[in-house]
Structure 1
Amino acid sequence: MTMELITSNQNAHYKLAHKLAQSRRERAKTGLMLLDGVHLLAAWLDAGHAVDTVLVSVAGQFKIEITRLLQRLELQQCKRWQLSDALFESISDMPSASGILALVKVPDVPSAQQSGFCLLLDGVQDPGNVGAILRTAYAAGVQQVWLSSACSDIWSPKVLRAGMGAQMVLPCIENADLPQLARQFRGKIAATLLDSNARDLYDCDLRGDLAFVMGSEGQGISPEMAALAQIKILIPMQAGIESLNVGHASAICLYEAMRQNR
């Protein structure tokens, strides 16, 4: 299929894509987000989602992996445009231009679970941390993630790349009222805390319905969420290490819960 070439930065399709790449407010207003690259778009299609618009760079049209993706999209009635390489690079923040962008609808927000295995992110702000945690959570069998309003936007380009598409298959609730949802949860609430009552992770019973709370990089878990924690956990560490990155701490805790529930 021949695609019309866009060379002006005043073009409406270009301007929308540029805004979606830069602005959380624009993503919230339009209900759209931007997928940058073959991997993310393939993961989106594998999850059974539809595509609204595809933008391919002039250089990208010659890449075999992009050609194959476009063939997969033949049955979808999505719009297709070609961007000059300069315009494409002005949208993408990747070190090397991927050659393909897709505008897609943000998935519907699920209803909050009241049982099962959930992860609560309380103010985790670094995009790389949020994305890595989502990927780890999905791998460890977490069924749903709730993110407070202070967390990084899971549909931003950086979080999407760090998560490598995990949020496309893992149900997530953004801007969640964590204390309210935690009070409605019928299982145990566990949190990593520097508390005199905290116990070694490997001495804690994490079996059954569980909601695990991980706090922000600087402040940790909020006082209100700490007060709701029924299981207060310390990750054992060698002397001289003050703390772990929240992404690493999440992986350790989630996989211990997975191990106990196998």
Structure 2
Amino acid sequence: MTLRITSANNPRFKRVRSLGGTRKPHREEHVFLLESPRAIAALEHDRNGFGRVRELWFEEGRGLEDRWSGSFEQASRFSLPAPLFSRLTSVKNSQGILAVVEYMPPELRIHDRQGRYVVLDGLGDPGNMGTLIRTAVAAGVDAILLHGPCADPFNPKCVRASMGMLPLIGLHRASEECWMELERGGYDIVGLAAGEGENLFETAFPPCSVVVLGHEAHGLSSEARRRCSRMVHIPMRPACESLNAAVAGALAMYATRRV
């Protein structure tokens, strides 16, 4: 059954609209909006995903309720007139559907013998965070570990930049226990830093590897450096001081596939 909402004062409408805001205190923890039909459909078909669709919101007059009638049977459904729906979406040419998704990652388990992880150490920009999440899914990274004060991965800008990939990878805090487990497991913990250590493209990575990426402006924190077993750098022409954090992270993630 689809409930029709016609007022912007409706409490349900206000709650969902708050999920699209960038102020974290106004958003429910680990809950976010997905606006891509392809990303929403992926949650139904990918059994390894960590997202549960709690609600589906439709723009009236586009025939979408019938098209999605057999999907996410446990989700609550709502329809809105076009002017109201446009106040929920951040997409200029919306496709008329929104999903309210709850992120439910499993407990972190560090793999034995073989595993690839990425640590984001104080990464501050939600756009970079989302792009790195998308790249990590594409590159087959096992999980992303957040160290220090990072951007909120559930920030709408991050969710958009991830292209809906957020529910397809585990996000965890890099706790002291987590670092110790990586060290006990013999993981090669490699920090990416400008001009330091080996050339990224000339170094070998073992089957158990961790790439640590730092803050966009300040680089790796002293704590993260202490955890690293070695450093690598991306070679660049002298005129170029650095690369965008998401670009550098993408190069590093794919470099670890060369085992």
TM-score range, shorter chain: 0.7 to 0.9
Aligned with residue 57 of structure 1, among 59, 66, 71: 59
2:246 corresponds to 1:244: no
Give how far 1:246 is off.
0.9
Q: Which sections of structure 2, spanning at least 5 residues, go unmatched?
A: none
Corresponding residue for 2:12? 13
* Alpha-carbon separation, structure 1, partners of 2:77 and 2:189: 47
- Note the 1:38-49 alignment, pairs <5 A: 38-48=37-47
Corresponding residue for 2:152? 153
Are the equivalent residues in 2 in contact too, given 1:179–1:225 (CA < 8 A)?
no
TM-score (norm 2): 0.86
Corresponding residue for 2:232? 233
* Alpha-carbon separation, structure 2, partners of 1:85 and 1:125: 35
2:185 corresponds to 1:188: no
**C-alpha distance 156-40 of structure 1, shift in aligned 2 (>3 A):** farther
* Alpha-carbon separation, structure 1, partners of 2:3 and 2:203: 60
Higher-helix-fraction structure: 1
TM-score (norm 1): 0.85
* Alpha-carbon separation, structure 1, partners of 2:53 and 2:192: 39
Q: What SS does the aligned partner of 1:202 have? A: helix
* Alpha-carbon separation, structure 1, partners of 2:253 and 2:74: 40
* Alpha-carbon separation, structure 2, partners of 1:36 and 1:127: 17
1:221-256 deviation line (CA, Å, top 9, x unaligned): 111101221120111112211001111111111111
Give how far 1:125 is off.
2.1
Are the equivalent residues in 1 in contact too, given 2:105–2:171 (CA < 8 A)?
no
Corresponding residue for 1:71? 69
**C-alpha distance 138-122 of structure 1, shift in aligned 2 (>3 A):** same
Corresponding residue for 2:3? 4
Aligned with residue 105 of structure 1, among 102, 105, 122: 102
- Note the 1:124-139 alignment, pairs <5 A: 124-139=123-138
Are the equivalent residues in 2 in contact too, given 1:122–1:214 (CA < 8 A)?
yes
Q: What SS does the aligned partner of 1:90 have? A: coil
**C-alpha distance 28-183 of structure 1, shift in aligned 2 (>3 A):** farther
Corresponding residue for 2:82? 85
How many residue pairs end up in the alignment?
250
Q: Which amino acid letter does the alignment assign opposite residue 54 of structure 1?
A: L
Give how far 1:90 is off.
1.5
Q: Which amino acid letter does the alignment assign opposite residue 198 of structure 2?
A: R
* Alpha-carbon separation, structure 1, partners of 2:90 and 2:199: 41
1:125-168 deviation line (CA, Å, top 9, x unaligned): 22221111112112222111112352222233322222123222
Give how far 1:179 is off.
5.5
- Once superposed, what is the RMSD of the aligned Cα atoms? 2.3
* Alpha-carbon separation, structure 2, partners of 1:190 and 1:150: 20
Q: Which amino acid letter does the alignment assign opposite residue 193 of structure 1?
A: A
1:75-98 deviation line (CA, Å, top 9, x unaligned): 613221111222222221122233
